[in-house]
Amino acid sequence: MMQQDELIGTMLGGYRILASVGQGGMARVYKAYQENLDREVAIKVLPPWYATDSSFVERFNLEARLVARLSHPNIVTVHDASEQNGHLYIVMQLVSGGTLKQRLDQLHLQGKAMDTLEVVSIFAQLADALSYAHEQKIIHRDIKPVNVLLDGSGRPILSDFGIAKVLASTREGLTRPGAGVGTPEYMSPEQCKGGPVDGRADIYALGVMLFEAMTGYTPFRGDNYHALAHSHIYDPPPHPSSLHPTINPIIEHVILTALLKKPEQRYQRASDMADALKQALPGGVLAVSRTSASIEAIYLCPYCRKANKPQMRFCTQCGNQMNQCPFCSTTNPASNRFCYKCGQSLTRQ
């Protein structure tokens, strides 16, 4: 059997493999040419050493069936799925504009955050796509920037439903509910606990991505999985304005609502999150929900980024002095007596 690197230049079904374009959680993605329709496509190929494992094969085939059922402008389209010479593969829409991760990395290198119009455009569309998928009883469970493709116009397209779960009809035992599924930086508290997962876990992950888009950082950090999981479960997120003082307050409210620990306190439908985001556009007015009372002010340590309660004079993790401006929320060096942004005194009474 040929090695997977040797697929380039060969035919797989009716598709000529042109180049490798990425590695997913359990498969490699290639750019290919479909000769009979004269178009380029993306092909996700299961490594041959997995093709003999029935559990991987079942999971792979489930992905093809799940995504093929979805028809939405912000969800990647599946064209075909088959097997040849021990290679299981799925043929998908080719999206050539890069990923949201690449876009965020570019902004971070420039010291910038997304502007309000771009944020609302991208994340409202993603929330609408998730709302549609949830209505089909499909959840994603691995929402993260690398799984959001951008086309040439900047339209976001959600990809990689490889660990999606059919709430109503998935055969028992194919995957354990929530346990070990997802990417730690974006996992909801209930995923970290290994408990049952529904669409509100996707809403939480979308909130993590939105925080990252606005600040350049994910809200929780840890040296290992257990430290990250502990933070997701127990630590309140910092207010985005502690890192981005000029953030639109409506977007900040949306982020903090999506990141609430209890699923019943978050947006209950992704479409509700989309509607709330759209209120950040000119003329929009946010109807503040009852979850506002659950959102506690948190200051971010300027040294280790540990979230601390506002009354803490010293960081509970690294011991450095907290120096958050109480007027504009800008984080200042510990030696500053006055905020470098607004000029107000940093001395706490």
> Domain 100-296 adopts which CATH fold?
Transferase(Phosphotransferase); domain 1 (1.10.510)
The CB density around residue 168, as the number of other CB atoms within 10 Å, is: 8
CATH node for 4-92: 3.30.200.20
Cβ(156)–Cβ(148) below 8 Å: yes
Dump the DSSP string for 2-53: --GGGGTTSEETTEEEEEEEEE-SS-EEEEEEETTTTEEEEEEE--HHHHT-
Q: What integer pLDDT is reported at residue 316 of this predicted model?
A: 76
Torsions phi, psi for 36 (to 5 deg): -70, -25
Give the single-character DSSP code of 141.
S
- What are the residue ranges of CATH 1.10.510.10 in the chain? 100-296
Residues 6+ apart with CB under 8 A from 315: 301, 303, 304, 306, 308, 321, 322
Helices (H) and strands (E) in the chain, counts: 9, 12
- Per the listing, tokens 């951008």 go with 150
Cβ(276)–Cβ(286) below 8 Å: yes
Concerning whether 235 is annotated as a catalytic residue, the answer is no
Three-state DSSP class for 166?
Answer: strand
Per-residue pLDDT of the chain (349 residues; tens, 9 = 90+): 445 578 899 999 999 999 998 876 667 889 999 999 999 999 988 777 777 888 777 777 777 787 888 999 999 999 998 888 888 888 999 998 889 999 999 988 888 888 899 999 999 999 999 999 999 888 898 899 999 999 988 999 998 875 554 333 333 333 434 445 678 999 999 999 988 899 999 999 999 999 999 999 999 988 899 999 999 999 999 999 998 999 999 999 999 999 999 999 999 999 999 999 999 987 654 443 333 334 444 555 656 656 556 566 777 777 777 766 666 666 655 556 666 556 666 664 4
- Whole-angstrom Cα distance, residue 105 to residue 112? 10
- What are the residue ranges of CATH 3.30.200.20 in the chain? 4-92
Express each pLDDT in 94-133 by its tens digit.
998 889 999 999 988 888 888 899 999 999 999 999 999 9
Q: What integer pLDDT is reported at residue 48 of this predicted model?
A: 79
Nearest by Cα to 60 from 202, 184, 174, 158: 174
The alpha carbon of 68 is separated from its chain's Cα centroid by a whole number of angstroms, namely 22
**Candidates 38, 128, 142, 275; catalytic one:** 142
